[in-house]
Amino acid sequence: MRPAHPLFPPSARHGMPAMTSFPPPSAAAAPVLSDVPERIAFLAAPTDVARHEFDRLTRQYGNCHPGDADVVVCLGGDGFMLETLRVVLEQNLTVPVYGMNCGSVGFLMNPMLEDSLPQRLTTTQAATLHPLRMKARTMQGDTHEALALNDVFLFRQTRQAAKIRVDVDDLVRMPELICDGALLSTPAGSTAYNLSAHGPIVPLSGNLLPLTPICPFRPRRWRGALLPSTARVGFTILEPEKRPVAAVADSIEIRDVVSVQIHEDRTLAVTVLFDPGQTLSERITAEQFSA
């Protein structure tokens, strides 16, 4: 019997069955709630605020294991939400996820209102997200795979600028990019690090992946590319021993990489729920008009 996933804090794990009780993967798309959910799984970030709300909500509505739930309610910030969504994907669950903001920005979250939560969940609107799949090979010869719902980025590990070759669909598009790093973003993640690196915001329906350099030195005026969502992007690190580079898929960091392959995995999907009028598409559009 395996223990609960370490993502779940002790309060969230209490009384929950082992992970082996998760239902088998379903071929159906993740459901959108139409009836009042009877079984809610609450997960809380390891912060005082999130755990306090967890205690209040579970006293009022009960709790169950995510594998047995009609909906997962994630209590925390955007970082904990991304971790929760990654676990849902890795466990092949079709349960939708609703975030309640106990963090700072809360771009993927909804307001922290506990009254009439089950009824509130029936009015939500869904966004279906597909992750990026990263495959990274290190100088030691190890291979690592990870999923990312925001972005995969490469970044120099030392004072030396990185030198990176950029391939798209097995064609060399840039023989040498000298930079601090580079990133490939999903549309949902295009308002995060990608935007801070002066990359474009992409609507969810755009079927595009922004490829954005981070502080490029040569070619100095290159501002990146918009690639079709079917593109397969490859990064090859030039002079990896002299100019070591790390690769990061959301919160998972792999150091001393020599090559990184990335593509959008359309075989995987997760459903995120938002309050009416506050859909992810609306938030992405509004971000383009914010100061």
Give the count of alpha carbons within 13 A of 33, CB side only. Answer: 29
Beta bridge partners, 110, equal 100
75 in a known ligand binding site? no
207 in a known ligand binding site? no
29 in a known ligand binding site? no
188 in a known ligand binding site? yes
Q: Which amino acid is at 79?
A: G
* Residue 193 near residue 161 (C-beta atoms within 8 A): no
Measured distance CA(93)–CA(87) in Å, rounded: 9
141 in a known ligand binding site? no
Catalytic site positions: 78
Measured distance CA(270)–CA(95) in Å, rounded: 8
180 in a known ligand binding site? yes
* Residue 77 near residue 109 (C-beta atoms within 8 A): yes
271 in a known ligand binding site? no
101 in a known ligand binding site? no
Name every residue whose Cβ is closer than 8 Å to that of residue 110 and which is 6 or more positions away in sequence.
Answer: 98, 99, 100, 101, 273, 274, 275, 278
Binding site feature residues for NAD(+)? 78-79, 150-151, 180, 188, 191-196
Binding site feature residues? 78-79, 150-151, 180, 188, 191-196
